[in-house]
Amino acid sequence: MDKPTVLESTIAKAGLPIVINAALFILAFSFFLTPVLSQQNDTSRVSEKPAVNDSIQKADTTKSEFIQRIQQAGQIEYLKSQEKLKNRQAYLRQHQLLSYLKNENFKLKGLLTKGIAYNQIQIRLARFQELIPFVLKGISSDQQEFQTERNLTVSSSIFREMLDELNVEKEKVDQFAATFRKSQYKIDSIYAEKDLYLFPSDSLQVRQYAFLLVELSKEIKPIEDTLKTFGNKLDSLQTTINAMVFELNSRVENVETSRRRLNELNLENEIPTDKSNTYYTRTLAEAVQYSFAKERYALGFYVELHLPRLVILSILVFLSWIFLANLKKRTLQLHDLDEHDDGKIVLRSPFLSALVIGLGFFQFFFLNPPFIFYWLIWLVASFSLTLIFIGYLNRFWMFFWAFTVLIFLAAGIVNMILLPTDTERYLMLGLSLFGILFLIFTISKRQTNQLKEKRIVFFIYLMGLFEFISLVLNLTGRFNLSKSFLLAGYIGIVIGILLLWTVRLVNQGLSIASKIYHNQERELFFINFNKLGNKAPGIFYTFLIVGWGILVGKNFYRFTQVSESITAFLTEERMIGSYQFSINGLFVFLIILFVSVMLSRLLSIFSAEPEASISDEKRTRVSFGSWLLLVQIFIISLGLFLAFAASGIPLDKITIILGALSVGIGLGLQGLVNNLVSGLIIAFENTVKVGDLIEVEGKPGVMKSIGFRSSVVNMFEGYTAVIPNGDLISKQMVNWTTGKGRKLSLVVGVSYGTDLELAIRLLKEIIGEEDRIRKNPSPRVVPLEFSDSSIDLEVVFWLTHYMDYPFVRGELISKITLIFKENKIKIPFPQRDLYLKSIPEVADPKETDKPE
């Protein structure tokens, strides 16, 4: 075998780049050498033909072998590069997997550190388990024990509240467990990667990789030891929670079944005939003690679940208190407060009035609370209203209201007795009889003409009717139904009076504020009372009447059945083609849209009724009105999106419909879209704000509001102009508020021969004495031109306020006339001299009459 040449040895040592360069060199050399060899062959073809042919064949053989060796070397280097690339990819993949392992290990470590309130949940589960027998006391599935509807209702309420609270914890645990197991799955999937177990051929790289694996193992090993234990505890906790959720659901169903059976028989005599029954042997103190503990649990669970709403209620009461306190302060400053005035009773005690208003309205935002929660709200509102009435109502009606509250207090306590006793029955008889006698006494006194709120008479008669029905039912042994009518009578009158006075106090506050506050002020949250009005909208009365009916109706199981039937009908899924919907979803859609539109309109009470001003402070104060358009568009857009999402209407189908109608909408509503976009441009560019003094087509006015389609401008001529937003942008609009003021030019003519220096000095003195003329830019008085009858002097100055323009001009003309007259400077007027060159002769009439 021939020894390799120097070039071959160099190629083998250099690697692939040298191979490529050598190959290119050989190709170039062969192309360069071929013409030379051809020429030499032509010159010596005759003399040296045999020798040359041998040399050429030998050269071709050598060249062919050399090319083969180069190709072999290239193939070897290619395979080496492929192997090197694979090693590099494996190296990068391994480090990427190790990085993933570290990250997931860090997340898992954070989860283990954070953990869940395992002990607290276990304590709560044990507490629930202990409470179940206590809650079930007095409830018998075989109908042997005399049961009360109130006990079943409170038991169902407690079980539901326990279930709601447990579902909250269950959601937290399930979410934590899902995150935990997902992290474990990711770690296991990384361990299953083949690239993680590929080791490089280089010993140094193997050592470095092994070191990384050892360090990672030190980090992961402590966590792996606790994962199994923690996972088992988590699985056990989820199993226990699921079992408790299942048991509570079963308890709720059983209690509701017992409640339904009890109410199916509530028109029959329920009083036991056996004197050994617990109904006769149980003492009232025992029943009260048990009922107090059970009602306390019901209240505690409900307050714990709805604590955020109670915080919101406290904030609303606090804000109402601040509002009424500032209103009373301003009224005292104006010496216009009379506590006996029927229209200012709301200011007697701002805090108590805020309590009545807040509790009166916000009670409807608590869904399905236990009776004790409502009872406490009504009791606090009633006591607050009683303190407000002291010294305001006459003696008879103050006595009536105080006794009504006391009877309501007693009826509420009796209603919260859950275990039936014979003593309780007589208490119910006494309360019903007392209500009837109280009604008769009230009517006999004939004092209804002195009522401050005439509609209270309706609730008085309704109370008497309900108490009479309760008395009859009680005497005939219908214990549960009698209790429902007893409570409904006293609840109806107290809630009715509370709601009527809630609206009345609101109306008084708005009426007083609208009379006192003509501008928006900070202590009243910048509310515009001119837009808000001086009384609550009439729809409030409708809502309150419906709310009163619901609160009173909740005392009757039949009402609950009807409401559940209506709810089932509304929530039932229906199909139109492939679209699934429910009537409740459609109502939700309409309600959300209605609320969003109402909220966008409600924002207008924070917009000013602006007056023309170029003060930066005032302009900043009313600048929110310019952004109301953006806020309103955002609220309506968000409401539309939430309405679609809450109602279950598929957005993809709505998108298809809108896409199909987009062309028609674009052509038919292009003017509306133009005005809407123009309004957005005005709001974003901030070229004009609400309250700015503008001039449109030469007519001045004040920007009142910027709406969706158009803007409203109060014109100085006395009318209100509604200008499309597109016209404000397309046409020339002058904004005097953002300018430096108004430039005023006045031309004064003096007669020829007047001392111009004196006239100019006098004019400058007049301008300098006027405070409404700006000093910068400085005013100037310069001769303008020679006119036909005078020398005109131009007076140029800047006014601070646009509104001063006609007044300053008029006063300056008066002062100039007066001071020129004192200095004997004449202001000429145009004159014409008539020169007659000849007078035509007038013929004698006598001569013209003579005959020729």
Best CA proximity match to 363, nearest among 495, 537, 243: 495
Question: What pLDDT is attached to residue 68?
Answer: 82
Q: Alpha-carbon Rg of the chain, whole angstroms?
A: 49
Tokens of 302: 């409900």
Question: What pLDDT is attached to residue 569?
Answer: 74
Tokens of 846: 């006598």
Q: What is the DSSP letter of 691?
A: T
Return d(Cα 595, Cα 602) in angstroms, integer: 10
Minimum mean pLDDT range among 52-66, 69-83, 233-247: 52-66
Q: What is the mean pLDDT of residues 445-463?
A: 78
According to the per-residue pLDDT averaged within each range, which of 202-216, 308-322, 577-591 is highest? 308-322
Q: How many CA atoms lie within 13 A of 359 on its CB side?
A: 22
DSSP of 45-103, one letter per residue?
TTTSHHHHHHHHHHHHHHHHHHHHHHHHHHHHHHHHHHHHHHHHHHHHHHHHHHHHHHH
CB 483 within 8 A of CB 520: no
CB 709 within 8 A of CB 680: no
Tell me: the pLDDT tens digits for 492-505?
999 988 988 888 88
Q: Is the pLDDT at 175 greater than 60, yes or no?
A: yes
Question: What pLDDT is attached to residue 235?
Answer: 87
Question: What pLDDT is attached to residue 535?
Answer: 57
Whose structure tokens read 């104006």?
A: 334
Return d(Cα 379, Cα 372) in angstroms, integer: 10
- Which one has a higher pLDDT value, 53 or 359? 359
Question: What pLDDT is attached to residue 470?
Answer: 92
Question: What pLDDT is attached to residue 733?
Answer: 77
DSSP of 170-236, one letter per residue?
HHHHHHHHHHHHHHHHHHHHHHT-GGGG---SSHHHHHHHHHHHHHHHHHHHHHHHHHHHHHHHHHH
Using a pLDDT cut of 90, give the percent of the chain over it. 12
> What's the pLDDT band for 383 if we cut at 50, 70, 90?
very high
Q: SS3 sequence, 522-562?
A: HHHCCCCHHHHCCCCCCHHHHHHHHHHHHHHHCCCHHHHHH
Give the residue extent of every domain in the chain: 98-264, 295-571, 579-735, 742-822
Buried b (16+ CB within 10 A) or exposed e, 99-138: eebeebbebbbebeeeebeeeebeebbeebeebbeebbeb
CB 65 within 8 A of CB 4: no
For helices 307-333 and 479-516, angle between their N-to-C axes, nearest 10 degrees: 40
Q: SS3 sequence, 302-354?
A: HHHHCHHHHHHHHHHHHHHHHHHHHHHHHHHHCCCCCCCCHHHHHHCCHHHHH
Question: What pLDDT is attached to residue 8?
Answer: 45
Question: One-letter amino acid identity for 407?
Answer: I
Return d(Cα 303, Cα 370) in angstroms, integer: 10
Q: Is the pTM of this model over 0.85?
A: no
Using a pLDDT cut of 70, give the percent of the chain over it. 74
CATH 3.20.20.70 fits 742-822, yes or no: no
> What's the pLDDT band for 840 if we cut at 50, 70, 90?
low
Return d(Cα 354, Cα 381) in angstroms, integer: 10
Tokens of 520: 């928006």
Q: What is the mean pLDDT of residues 788-816?
A: 81
336: left (phi over 0), alpha (psi -120 to 50) or beta: alpha
Q: How many CB atoms lie within 10 A of CB 364?
A: 13
DSSP reduced 3-state for 715: strand
Tell me the average pLDDT of the chain. Answer: 76
Q: Is the pLDDT at 826 greater than 70, yes or no?
A: yes
Best CA proximity match to 154, nearest among 428, 375, 478: 375
What value, to the nearest 5°, has the Cα angle with vertex 833 and ends 830 and 838?
160
Q: Is the pLDDT at 316 greater than 70, yes or no?
A: yes
Q: Is the pLDDT at 204 greater than 80, yes or no?
A: no
Minimum mean pLDDT range among 67-81, 562-576, 712-726: 562-576
Question: One-letter amino acid identity for 775?
Answer: K
CB 360 within 8 A of CB 384: no
Question: What pLDDT is attached to residue 37?
Answer: 42
CB 70 within 8 A of CB 11: yes
Question: One-letter amino acid identity for 15?
Answer: G
- Which one has a higher pLDDT value, 170 or 835? 170
Tokens of 297: 């649990």
**What number of residues does the chain have?**
852
> What's the pLDDT band for 53 if we cut at 50, 70, 90?
low
Return d(Cα 121, Cα 335) in angstroms, integer: 61
> What's the pLDDT band for 60 if we cut at 50, 70, 90?
low
- Which one has a higher pLDDT value, 356 or 146? 356
Beta bridge partners of 699: 696
Question: What pLDDT is attached to residue 469?
Answer: 92
CB 570 within 8 A of CB 584: yes
According to the per-residue pLDDT averaged within each range, which of 93-107, 121-135, 804-818 is highest? 121-135
Question: What pLDDT is attached to residue 214?
Answer: 77
Question: One-letter amino acid identity for 128?
Answer: F
Q: What is the mean pLDDT of residues 168-178?
A: 88
CA distances from 27 to 6, 377, 489 (A): 18, 102, 114
Minimum mean pLDDT range among 48-62, 703-717, 731-745: 48-62
Minimum mean pLDDT range among 163-177, 509-523, 715-729, 835-849: 835-849
Minimum mean pLDDT range among 464-468, 728-732, 840-844: 840-844
DSSP reduced 3-state for 781: strand
Contacts of 262 (CB under 8 A, 6+ apart): 147, 149, 152, 480
Question: What pLDDT is attached to residue 19?
Answer: 40
Q: How many CB atoms lie within 10 A of CB 169?
A: 19
Q: Is the pLDDT at 605 greater than 60, yes or no?
A: no
Question: What pLDDT is attached to residue 33?
Answer: 43
Question: What pLDDT is attached to residue 21?
Answer: 45
- Which one has a higher pLDDT value, 128 or 629? 128
> What's the pLDDT band for 471 if we cut at 50, 70, 90?
very high
CA distances from 432 to 149, 263, 374, 469 (A): 19, 21, 21, 9
CA distances from 605 to 339, 520, 598, 705 (A): 29, 10, 12, 12
Q: How many CA atoms lie within 13 A of 468 on its CB side?
A: 11
CA distances from 382 to 360, 492, 499, 543 (A): 10, 13, 11, 20
Buried b (16+ CB within 10 A) or exposed e, 702-722: bbbbbbebbbbbbeeeeeebe
Best CA proximity match to 289, nearest among 416, 431, 150, 136: 416
Return d(Cα 588, Cα 677) in angstroms, integer: 30
Tokens of 28: 């170039």
Tell me: the pLDDT tens digits for 68-92?
877 888 788 788 888 778 777 777 8
Question: What pLDDT is attached to residue 654?
Answer: 59
Q: Is the pLDDT at 355 greater than 90, yes or no?
A: yes
Q: What is the DSSP letter of 717?
A: T
Q: What is the mean pLDDT of residues 692-721?
A: 77
Q: Is the pLDDT at 420 greater than 80, yes or no?
A: yes
Q: What is the DSSP letter of 649?
A: -
Return d(Cα 794, Cα 791) in angstroms, integer: 10
Minimum mean pLDDT range among 594-598, 608-612, 646-650: 608-612
Q: How many CB atoms lie within 10 A of CB 849?
A: 7
Q: What is the mean pLDDT of residues 112-122?
A: 82
Tokens of 231: 């996972």
Question: What pLDDT is attached to residue 314?
Answer: 92
Minimum mean pLDDT range among 508-522, 595-609, 634-648: 595-609
CB 779 within 8 A of CB 798: yes
Return d(Cα 27, Cα 836) in angstroms, integer: 121
Return d(Cα 388, Cα 453) in angstroms, integer: 15
